[in-house]
Amino acid sequence: MLELYKWHLGLAVPENAIREVKAVAVTDCLFCRIVNKEIPAAIVYEDDSFMVINDINPAAPVHLLIIPRIHIASLNEAGVEDTEILGKLQLLAAQMADVAGIAGQGYRLVNNIGEWGGQTIRHLHYHLLGGKQLGWPPE
Ligand code: 5GP
Ligand code: ZN
């Protein structure tokens, strides 16, 4: 279905072109270096697939970054093979919100994509923001 949609938009790309932008670790990627513990961070949680850290420049009383260990540059580079990791990430975000004590009052899960989306680190990550009333729209 998605392939048909891409074909209609003229966006069909060979599968191996997508895979080239993924890797277990990219040496010049800040978040790859953080998940591999080459650079320190305030680690809140980690497992085989994810690391959750405090954002160095928090935009809210709770500002966590949920980072898959695998290097996927952004959601644009994710494919159907990443369905499980993306699903688990959302469930982990809800668990983290619960642990941080912000689940009941509400919070926001944000994924910035590319330049106009405000993405500054090209390693897929989600911001979990809460602990205060958040404004909408976001800017
Ligand atoms: P983006 O702008 O790519 O969506 O989000 C990147 C986030 O990473 C920003 O909120 C920024 O404050 C945070 N950040 C940048 N460098 C570091 C770092 O070295 N450590 C931590 N913990 N967060 C960082
Ligand atoms: Zn990376």
- Give the position of tokens 């994509």: 113
Report the sign of the C-alpha dihedral through residues 84, 78, 116, 123, in that order: positive
* Ligand 2: centre distance to CA 112 (Å): 15
- Contact assessment for residue 132 and residue 60, using Cβ atoms and an 8 Å cutoff: yes
Probe ligand 1: pick from 65, 71, 113, 119, max atoms within 8 Å of CB?
A: 65
**Domains along the sequence of the chain with CATH:** 22-130 (3.30.428.10)
Annotated active-site residue 63? The verdict is: no
Strand partners, 43: 53
So what's the pLDDT on residue 132? Answer: 98
Q: Is the CB of 119 under 6 A from ligand 1?
A: yes
Q: What is the mean pLDDT of each run of 10 residues along the chain (139 residues)?
A: 55 50 82 97 98 98 98 97 98 98 98 98 98 95
* Ligand 2: centre distance to CA 23 (Å): 8
First to last CA, the chain: 34
Three-state SS for 96? helix
